[in-house]
């Protein structure tokens, strides 16, 4: 029996998902665990599978559509199933529980005619012919009642039917845009929500070069989640900052020797790997920093899990290295490389980018000397790492050149007091300035 296939809810907090790509076409036969589509959540692209042997009878959403969790995106069933009742039901549905589109659609058209000028009635025509011209959602194939016959001249639309998604039609109506004037980017030229959002009405030229049009960039699900969570963190947590300048002469020499030994195995350790390892050891030494604030208590995490900020084209994600203090440098480097690669491919499971007690954000490779970072909940601290560079320094009373790096720790004052944060940075400094301790301790 045919049924709706709904937008899955990948995480408890997911409200909407963006349909990234259909992997199957209408009429395709599907087996259990076949991937039917790719759905983009806040920070990952998720393969959506079917669990039974079915046929993809009808696709109800286009690539790029943002669909609420639990809203139909397709109809599945067995070959030959009648889907007319489901199509009629879908035509009257609105995401988020709004009034059925069939009831709301005629209103804008009916009000658009000038009040002073009576509307001329269209010539009488058979109802079947009128049905063919009416494209209002929920009315296709239905008999037109007397009221609709009387007002036919008001809302009858000449010309071919415009392929468009329900969300696109709703948005176009709210903006006063004729959906027929919008160029569709969906399958077979279908108009989707993004097309309506990006639509610009034609402008009249008077011989003066028009300025470059504003570019409308739709907020991705990831960007919306980042905005919400970091705004909450910024407004909720009373933070302060601690900055330290680290002597990295020994760190540079240590990494050079280490990578020389690892080269034969095709392995390599980065400065970021060494920084994360030093942070993990310092969190083990000062466990009070590896904690999270709660209304009634502070939770001190039993595991040293460190987040590593990774920049993506449309936002930021923080993969988590679990039990980072117990991993060797080679293990940590390999795991970080794997997590970063899959993060950039949007292939991380939600459990792999959540729950870090502390995080590291490194912009040193982009020649940023110093910056501050916003805490990523549920952690209470984050370390912003600046560029490692040579500077004039004083050694033994004489001017010399040395490798230096600035780091700034953002602390949630509800959990980390000034002295506690300073104690953590002292421990971190000890590992960076004496890197052999990272290996032996």
Task: Name every residue whose Cβ is closer than 8 Å to that of residue 321 and which is 6 or more positions away in sequence.
Answer: 276, 280, 305, 306, 307, 308, 327, 332, 335, 336, 339
Domain annotation for the chain: domains and CATH numbers: 3-91 (2.40.50.100), 221-440 (3.30.559.10)
Quote the distance between the C-alpha of residue 410 and its chain's center.
24
CA distances in angstroms from 97 to 29, 94, 143, 171, listed in the order given: 32, 6, 26, 15
Residues 116, 162: contact at Cβ < 8 Å? no
26: which 2 tokens? 């209408």
Say whether 413 is catalytic. yes
Cross-strand bridge partners of residue 199: none
- Torsions phi, psi of 66, nearest 5? -100, 115
pLDDT of residue 337: 95
pLDDT tens-place string over residues 93-121: 866 543 333 333 344 444 444 444 444 44
111: which 2 tokens? 């009000």
Cross-strand bridge partners of residue 395: 398
- Taking Cα atoms as reference points, which of 350, 346, 353 lies closest to residue 21? 346
Lowest mean pLDDT among 14-18, 248-252, 421-425: 14-18
What is the Cα–Cα distance from 247 to 396, expressed in whole angstroms?
14
- Taking Cα atoms as reference points, which of 379, 365, 216 lies closest to residue 291? 379
pLDDT of residue 42: 64
Residue 405, pLDDT > 60, answer: yes
Torsion of CA 298, 303, 309, 313, to 10 degrees: -100
Residue 198, classed as helix, strand or coil, is: helix
CA distances in angstroms from 275 to 290, 370, 386, 405, listed in the order given: 16, 15, 11, 11
Residues 163, 189: contact at Cβ < 8 Å? yes
pLDDT tens-place string over residues 121-145: 444 444 444 444 444 444 444 444 4
Q: Looking at residues 298-321, what average pLDDT do you find?
A: 93
Task: Name every residue whose Cβ is closer than 8 Å to that of residue 217 and which is 6 or more positions away in sequence.
Answer: none
- Torsions phi, psi of 350, nearest 5? -50, -35
- Taking Cα atoms as reference points, which of 365, 373, 375 lies closest to residue 233? 375
pLDDT tens-place string over residues 3-54: 999 888 766 667 778 888 899 999 999 998 888 988 877 667 788 888 889 9
Give the per-residue SS3 of 96-134: CCCCCHHHHCHHHHHHHCCCCCCCCCCCCCCHHHHHHHC
Residue 430, pLDDT > 90, answer: yes
> Please, how many CA atoms are within 13 Å of residue 37, restricted to the half-sphere of its CB?
25
pLDDT of residue 321: 97
What is the Cα–Cα distance from 221 to 237, expressed in whole angstroms?
24
Lowest mean pLDDT among 22-31, 206-215, 219-228, 402-411: 206-215
> Please, how many CA atoms are within 13 Å of residue 101, restricted to the half-sphere of its CB?
25
Please give the span between the terminal C-alpha atoms of the chain, in angstroms, as a whole number.
63
Which pTM was predicted?
0.60
Give the model's confidence band at 146: pLDDT under 50 very low, under 70 low, under 90 confident, else very high.
very low
Give the model's confidence band at 149: pLDDT under 50 very low, under 70 low, under 90 confident, else very high.
very low
Residue 207, pLDDT > 60, answer: no
- Spell out the alpha helix ranges (H) of 301-369: 329-344
Q: Which residue has the higher pLDDT, 201 or 24?
A: 24
Segments of 186-268 assigned E as strands: 239-247
Cross-strand bridge partners of residue 243: 408
Pick the catalytic residue from 156, 284, 413, 429: 413
Question: To which H or E segment does residue 5 belong?
Answer: strand 3-6
pLDDT of residue 369: 95
Residues 386, 405: contact at Cβ < 8 Å? yes
pLDDT of residue 168: 78
Q: Which residue has the higher pLDDT, 21 or 203?
A: 21
């Amino acid at each position: 029996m045919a049924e709706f296939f709904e937008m899955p809810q990948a995480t408890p907090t997911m409200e909407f998902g963006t349909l990234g790509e259909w992997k199957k076409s209408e009429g395709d036969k599907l087996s259990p665990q076949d991937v039917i589509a790719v759905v983009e959540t806040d920070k990952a692209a998720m393969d959506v599978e079917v669990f039974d042997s079915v046929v993809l009878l009808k696709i109800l959403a286009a690539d790029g559509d943002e669909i609420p969790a639990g809203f139909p995106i397709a109809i599945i069933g067995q070959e030959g199933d009648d889907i007319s009742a489901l199509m009629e039901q879908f035509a009257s549905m609105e995401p988020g529980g709004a009034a059925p589109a069939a009831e709301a659609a005629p209103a804008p058209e009916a009000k658009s005619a000038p009040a002073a000028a009576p509307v001329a009635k269209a010539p009488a025509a058979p109802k079947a012919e009128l049905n063919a011209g009416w494209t209002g959602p929920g009315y296709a194939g239905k008999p037109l009642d007397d009221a609709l016959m009387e007002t036919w001249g008001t809302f009858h639309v000449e010309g071919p039917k415009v392929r468009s998604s329900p969300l696109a039609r709703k948005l176009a109506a709210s903006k006063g845009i004729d959906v027929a004037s919008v160029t569709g980017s969906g399958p077979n030229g279908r108009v989707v929500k993004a097309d309506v959002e990006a639509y610009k009405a034609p402008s009249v030229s008077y011989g003066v070069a028009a300025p470059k049009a504003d570019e409308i960039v739709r907020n991705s699900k990831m960007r919306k989640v980042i905005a919400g969570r970091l705004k909450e963190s910024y407004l909720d947590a009373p933070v302060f900052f601690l900055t330290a300048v680290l002597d990295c002469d020994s760190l540079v020499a240590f990494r050079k020797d280490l990578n020389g030994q690892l080269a034969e195995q095709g392995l390599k350790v980065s400065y970021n790997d060494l920084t994360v390892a030093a942070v993990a050891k310092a969190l083990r030494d000062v466990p009070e920093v590896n904690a999270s604030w709660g209304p009634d208590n502070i939770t001190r995490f039993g595991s040293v899990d460190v987040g590593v900020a990774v920049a993506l084209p449309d936002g930021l994600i923080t993969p988590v290295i679990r039990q980072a203090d117990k991993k060797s440098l080679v293990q940590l480097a390999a795991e970080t490389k794997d997590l970063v690669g899959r993060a950039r491919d949007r292939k991380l499971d939600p459990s792999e980018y959540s729950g870090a007690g502390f995080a590291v954000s490194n912009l040193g490779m982009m020649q940023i000397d110093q910056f501050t970072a916003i805490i990523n909940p549920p952690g209470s601290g984050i370390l912003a790492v600046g560029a490692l560079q040579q500077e004039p320094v004083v050694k033994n009373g004489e001017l010399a050149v040395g490798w230096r790096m600035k780091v700034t720790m953002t602390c949630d004052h509800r959990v980390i007091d000034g002295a506690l944060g300073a104690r953590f940075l002292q421990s971190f400094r000890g590992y960076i300035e004496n890197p052999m301790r990272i290996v032996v301790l």
